[in-house]
Amino acid sequence: MTPARSTRTISRSAFLRSSLALTGGALAGTGLVTSAQAAPAGPGGEHTRSSTGDVKLPDSWEGTIFTDPLRSKLDGYISSHAVLYDSGPIAELSPANIKKADGVVNFTPYGEDPQVDQYDIEVSETARLDGGPVSVSFADDDGIETLAEAQLVRTANPQSRALLLHVLGTRGWSVLLPPKASIVESATLAESPADVTMEEATTIISNAVGFSFGEDGPNPVRVRDVSLMNDGKTIVGRVSYPSGGTRVTTTWYGTAVRGNDMVTYLLGELPEGS
Protein backbone atom coordinates (compact mmCIF):
# COMPACT_ATOMS: atom_id res chain seq x y z
CA MET A 1 0.00 0.00 0.00
CA THR A 2 1.31 3.42 -0.91
CA PRO A 3 1.69 5.55 2.22
CA ALA A 4 -0.33 8.72 2.44
CA ARG A 5 1.67 11.74 1.36
CA SER A 6 2.37 14.68 3.59
CA THR A 7 4.20 17.89 2.75
CA ARG A 8 7.76 18.50 3.91
CA THR A 9 8.21 21.84 5.61
CA ILE A 10 11.34 23.95 5.60
CA SER A 11 13.53 23.53 8.68
CA ARG A 12 16.64 25.38 9.70
CA SER A 13 18.74 22.34 8.80
CA ALA A 14 17.52 22.66 5.22
CA PHE A 15 19.96 25.50 4.68
CA LEU A 16 23.09 23.76 5.87
CA ARG A 17 24.16 21.93 2.71
CA SER A 18 27.12 23.51 0.97
CA SER A 19 26.50 25.03 -2.45
CA LEU A 20 29.95 23.97 -3.57
CA ALA A 21 28.31 20.82 -4.94
CA LEU A 22 25.73 22.93 -6.77
CA THR A 23 28.36 25.07 -8.46
CA GLY A 24 30.56 22.24 -9.61
CA GLY A 25 33.15 22.90 -6.90
CA ALA A 26 34.13 26.28 -8.31
CA LEU A 27 34.76 27.77 -4.91
CA ALA A 28 37.02 24.87 -4.10
CA GLY A 29 39.56 25.93 -6.69
CA THR A 30 38.77 24.58 -10.16
CA GLY A 31 40.17 26.31 -13.20
CA LEU A 32 36.99 28.34 -13.53
CA VAL A 33 37.55 30.34 -10.36
CA THR A 34 39.70 33.42 -10.15
CA SER A 35 39.14 36.99 -9.37
CA ALA A 36 42.49 37.59 -11.03
CA GLN A 37 40.72 37.09 -14.35
CA ALA A 38 38.64 40.18 -13.62
CA ALA A 39 39.80 43.67 -14.44
CA PRO A 40 41.69 45.18 -11.50
CA ALA A 41 40.49 48.27 -9.73
CA GLY A 42 41.70 51.45 -11.31
CA PRO A 43 40.92 53.49 -14.45
CA GLY A 44 38.29 51.63 -16.47
CA GLY A 45 37.87 49.00 -13.76
CA GLU A 46 36.81 50.80 -10.61
CA HIS A 47 35.26 48.85 -7.76
CA THR A 48 32.94 50.68 -5.38
CA ARG A 49 30.92 49.99 -2.25
CA SER A 50 27.87 52.15 -1.58
CA SER A 51 24.74 52.02 0.56
CA THR A 52 22.15 52.44 -2.17
CA GLY A 53 23.67 52.68 -5.64
CA ASP A 54 22.17 54.31 -8.70
CA VAL A 55 21.46 51.34 -10.99
CA LYS A 56 18.14 51.87 -12.76
CA LEU A 57 16.26 48.63 -13.30
CA PRO A 58 13.86 48.25 -16.23
CA ASP A 59 10.16 48.51 -15.42
CA SER A 60 9.83 44.84 -16.39
CA TRP A 61 12.06 43.89 -13.43
CA GLU A 62 9.70 45.43 -10.87
CA GLY A 63 8.07 42.84 -8.65
CA THR A 64 10.65 40.18 -9.51
CA ILE A 65 13.12 38.50 -7.18
CA PHE A 66 15.60 41.27 -8.04
CA THR A 67 13.46 43.92 -6.36
CA ASP A 68 12.23 41.74 -3.49
CA PRO A 69 13.77 41.97 -0.04
CA LEU A 70 15.78 38.94 1.06
CA ARG A 71 13.09 36.35 1.66
CA SER A 72 12.46 34.37 4.83
CA LYS A 73 13.28 30.66 4.96
CA LEU A 74 9.50 30.17 5.08
CA ASP A 75 9.52 31.17 1.41
CA GLY A 76 11.91 28.35 0.49
CA TYR A 77 15.35 28.36 -1.13
CA ILE A 78 17.17 28.11 -4.44
CA SER A 79 18.18 24.45 -4.62
CA SER A 80 20.15 24.45 -7.87
CA HIS A 81 20.92 26.27 -11.11
CA ALA A 82 22.02 23.55 -13.51
CA VAL A 83 23.36 24.53 -16.93
CA LEU A 84 22.17 22.11 -19.62
CA TYR A 85 25.43 22.07 -21.55
CA ASP A 86 24.53 19.26 -23.96
CA SER A 87 20.99 20.36 -24.80
CA GLY A 88 21.72 23.39 -26.98
CA PRO A 89 19.54 26.53 -27.22
CA ILE A 90 16.31 24.67 -26.45
CA ALA A 91 12.96 26.39 -26.07
CA GLU A 92 11.37 23.70 -23.89
CA LEU A 93 12.23 20.78 -21.64
CA SER A 94 9.88 17.82 -21.24
CA PRO A 95 8.90 16.37 -17.85
CA ALA A 96 11.00 13.27 -18.61
CA ASN A 97 14.08 15.40 -19.31
CA ILE A 98 13.47 17.60 -16.27
CA LYS A 99 13.55 14.45 -14.13
CA LYS A 100 16.97 13.57 -15.61
CA ALA A 101 18.45 17.06 -15.26
CA ASP A 102 21.28 17.72 -12.82
CA GLY A 103 19.89 19.23 -9.65
CA VAL A 104 16.66 17.25 -10.04
CA VAL A 105 17.79 13.65 -10.53
CA ASN A 106 20.31 14.06 -7.69
CA PHE A 107 18.11 16.27 -5.50
CA THR A 108 18.55 16.10 -1.72
CA PRO A 109 16.94 18.57 0.71
CA TYR A 110 19.47 20.58 2.65
CA GLY A 111 20.68 18.96 5.82
CA GLU A 112 19.81 15.41 4.81
CA ASP A 113 22.02 12.45 4.00
CA PRO A 114 21.90 11.92 0.22
CA GLN A 115 21.88 8.15 0.80
CA VAL A 116 18.78 8.19 2.99
CA ASP A 117 15.96 8.97 0.57
CA GLN A 118 15.11 7.66 -2.85
CA TYR A 119 12.71 10.05 -4.52
CA ASP A 120 9.71 9.48 -6.70
CA ILE A 121 9.87 12.60 -8.90
CA GLU A 122 6.77 14.04 -10.51
CA VAL A 123 6.80 17.01 -12.92
CA SER A 124 3.55 18.73 -13.80
CA GLU A 125 4.29 19.81 -17.37
CA THR A 126 6.88 20.81 -19.94
CA ALA A 127 9.06 23.76 -18.93
CA ARG A 128 9.15 26.45 -21.60
CA LEU A 129 11.60 29.26 -22.05
CA ASP A 130 9.97 32.44 -20.67
CA GLY A 131 7.03 30.27 -19.62
CA GLY A 132 7.41 30.58 -15.86
CA PRO A 133 7.73 27.82 -13.27
CA VAL A 134 6.42 24.26 -13.45
CA SER A 135 5.65 22.18 -10.37
CA VAL A 136 8.02 19.44 -9.26
CA SER A 137 7.50 17.10 -6.32
CA PHE A 138 9.96 14.75 -4.65
CA ALA A 139 8.33 11.96 -2.60
CA ASP A 140 10.52 9.81 -0.39
CA ASP A 141 9.92 6.20 0.67
CA ASP A 142 7.79 7.36 3.60
CA GLY A 143 5.50 9.40 1.35
CA ILE A 144 6.84 12.72 2.59
CA GLU A 145 6.77 15.18 -0.26
CA THR A 146 9.08 18.10 -0.99
CA LEU A 147 7.46 20.61 -3.33
CA ALA A 148 9.50 22.69 -5.76
CA GLU A 149 9.28 24.70 -8.97
CA ALA A 150 11.58 24.52 -11.99
CA GLN A 151 12.14 27.22 -14.60
CA LEU A 152 13.96 26.98 -17.93
CA VAL A 153 16.12 30.09 -18.28
CA ARG A 154 18.69 31.63 -20.59
CA THR A 155 22.34 31.84 -19.55
CA ALA A 156 25.16 34.10 -20.75
CA ASN A 157 25.96 31.48 -23.39
CA PRO A 158 23.48 31.68 -26.30
CA GLN A 159 24.02 27.95 -26.83
CA SER A 160 23.14 26.86 -23.28
CA ARG A 161 20.02 27.01 -21.14
CA ALA A 162 19.74 26.28 -17.42
CA LEU A 163 17.17 24.76 -15.10
CA LEU A 164 16.55 26.79 -11.95
CA LEU A 165 15.06 24.76 -9.10
CA HIS A 166 13.38 26.55 -6.18
CA VAL A 167 12.14 24.50 -3.22
CA LEU A 168 8.89 25.94 -1.92
CA GLY A 169 8.54 26.96 1.68
CA THR A 170 5.42 26.78 3.78
CA ARG A 171 4.10 29.99 2.21
CA GLY A 172 4.18 28.60 -1.32
CA TRP A 173 6.02 31.66 -2.67
CA SER A 174 7.21 31.43 -6.30
CA VAL A 175 10.34 33.00 -7.78
CA LEU A 176 9.32 35.60 -10.35
CA LEU A 177 12.02 36.34 -12.93
CA PRO A 178 12.30 39.24 -15.39
CA PRO A 179 10.94 38.31 -18.84
CA LYS A 180 13.56 36.96 -21.28
CA ALA A 181 16.46 37.77 -18.93
CA SER A 182 19.56 35.58 -18.78
CA ILE A 183 19.89 34.17 -15.26
CA VAL A 184 22.99 32.75 -13.53
CA GLU A 185 23.91 31.84 -9.94
CA SER A 186 26.89 31.51 -7.62
CA ALA A 187 27.80 31.60 -3.93
CA THR A 188 30.55 32.63 -1.55
CA LEU A 189 31.81 31.49 1.83
CA ALA A 190 30.92 34.80 3.50
CA GLU A 191 28.61 34.44 6.50
CA SER A 192 26.24 37.22 5.43
CA PRO A 193 25.84 39.64 2.49
CA ALA A 194 27.31 42.43 4.64
CA ASP A 195 30.54 40.41 4.94
CA VAL A 196 31.06 40.01 1.18
CA THR A 197 34.24 41.75 0.03
CA MET A 198 34.88 43.41 -3.32
CA GLU A 199 37.16 40.52 -4.29
CA GLU A 200 34.47 38.00 -3.43
CA ALA A 201 31.82 39.97 -5.34
CA THR A 202 34.06 39.97 -8.40
CA THR A 203 34.60 36.23 -8.12
CA ILE A 204 30.87 35.59 -7.65
CA ILE A 205 30.07 37.44 -10.87
CA SER A 206 32.96 35.80 -12.74
CA ASN A 207 31.95 32.29 -11.66
CA ALA A 208 28.22 32.78 -12.15
CA VAL A 209 28.55 34.02 -15.72
CA GLY A 210 31.50 31.75 -16.50
CA PHE A 211 29.60 28.56 -15.70
CA SER A 212 27.38 29.33 -18.69
CA PHE A 213 30.31 28.13 -20.82
CA GLY A 214 31.54 25.09 -18.90
CA GLU A 215 32.41 23.63 -15.51
CA ASP A 216 36.14 23.22 -16.03
CA GLY A 217 38.98 24.97 -17.78
CA PRO A 218 39.84 28.64 -18.29
CA ASN A 219 37.07 31.09 -17.55
CA PRO A 220 36.32 33.19 -20.68
CA VAL A 221 34.66 35.88 -18.57
CA ARG A 222 36.22 39.26 -17.71
CA VAL A 223 34.68 41.45 -15.00
CA ARG A 224 35.12 45.16 -14.24
CA ASP A 225 33.33 48.09 -12.58
CA VAL A 226 32.04 45.97 -9.70
CA SER A 227 29.78 47.59 -7.10
CA LEU A 228 28.49 46.29 -3.77
CA MET A 229 25.28 47.95 -2.59
CA ASN A 230 22.55 47.64 0.02
CA ASP A 231 24.88 46.16 2.65
CA GLY A 232 26.00 43.47 0.24
CA LYS A 233 22.54 42.35 -0.84
CA THR A 234 23.15 43.75 -4.32
CA ILE A 235 26.18 43.22 -6.55
CA VAL A 236 26.65 44.73 -10.00
CA GLY A 237 29.41 44.38 -12.58
CA ARG A 238 30.26 44.87 -16.23
CA VAL A 239 31.05 41.51 -17.80
CA SER A 240 32.57 40.64 -21.17
CA TYR A 241 32.29 37.17 -22.62
CA PRO A 242 32.33 35.43 -26.03
CA SER A 243 29.17 35.48 -28.14
CA GLY A 244 28.78 34.65 -31.81
CA GLY A 245 32.50 34.79 -32.56
CA THR A 246 33.07 38.12 -30.81
CA ARG A 247 33.06 39.47 -27.26
CA VAL A 248 30.13 41.36 -25.83
CA THR A 249 30.03 43.46 -22.67
CA THR A 250 26.87 43.74 -20.60
CA THR A 251 25.84 44.61 -17.05
CA TRP A 252 24.87 41.87 -14.59
CA TYR A 253 22.78 42.65 -11.53
CA GLY A 254 22.80 40.22 -8.62
CA THR A 255 20.70 39.85 -5.50
CA ALA A 256 21.28 37.74 -2.41
CA VAL A 257 18.78 34.88 -2.18
CA ARG A 258 17.99 32.05 0.20
CA GLY A 259 20.19 29.13 -0.71
CA ASN A 260 21.93 27.59 2.30
CA ASP A 261 24.26 28.67 5.07
CA MET A 262 26.49 30.29 2.45
CA VAL A 263 25.66 33.59 0.79
CA THR A 264 24.05 32.80 -2.59
CA TYR A 265 23.40 35.26 -5.40
CA LEU A 266 21.07 35.10 -8.37
CA LEU A 267 22.22 37.38 -11.20
CA GLY A 268 20.37 38.68 -14.22
CA GLU A 269 21.69 40.36 -17.36
CA LEU A 270 20.36 43.91 -17.67
CA PRO A 271 19.25 45.22 -21.06
CA GLU A 272 21.72 47.71 -22.48
CA GLY A 273 20.87 51.25 -21.49
CA SER A 274 19.64 50.30 -18.03
Q: Where are the beta strands (DSSP E) in the chain?
A: 6-7, 48-49, 76-84, 92-93, 120-123, 127-128, 134-139, 144-154, 161-168, 183-188, 222-229, 234-243, 246-257, 263-269
Q: What share of the chain is helix, strand, coil (3-state, %, to 5)?
A: 15, 35, 50
pTM of the predicted protein model: 0.82
Looking at residue 14, its pLDDT comes to 27
Looking at residue 42, its pLDDT comes to 34
Looking at residue 111, its pLDDT comes to 65
Mean pLDDT of 64-77: 91
CB within 8 Å of 146: residues ≥ 6 apart: 8, 107, 109, 119, 137, 138, 139, 140, 167
Smallest CA-to-CA distance from 239 within 230, 231, 227 is with 227
Mean pLDDT of 245-249: 91
Looking at residue 17, its pLDDT comes to 29
Q: Widest CA span of the chain, in angstroms?
A: 69
- The number of C-alpha atoms within 13 Å of 221 and in the hemisphere containing its C-beta is 32
Q: How far apart are CA 113 and CA 111, in angstroms?
A: 7
Q: How many angstroms from the chain centroid is the CA of residue 50?
A: 24
Least confident of 93-107, 131-145, 257-271: 257-271
pLDDT of 272 strictly over 90: no
**Cα distances (angstroms) measured from residue 197 to each of 40, 71, 201, 256, 266:** 14, 22, 6, 14, 17
Least confident of 81-90, 147-156, 209-218, 232-241: 209-218
Q: What is the DSSP letter of 39?
A: P
What's the length of the chain? 274
Q: How far apart are CA 172 and CA 262, in angstroms?
A: 23
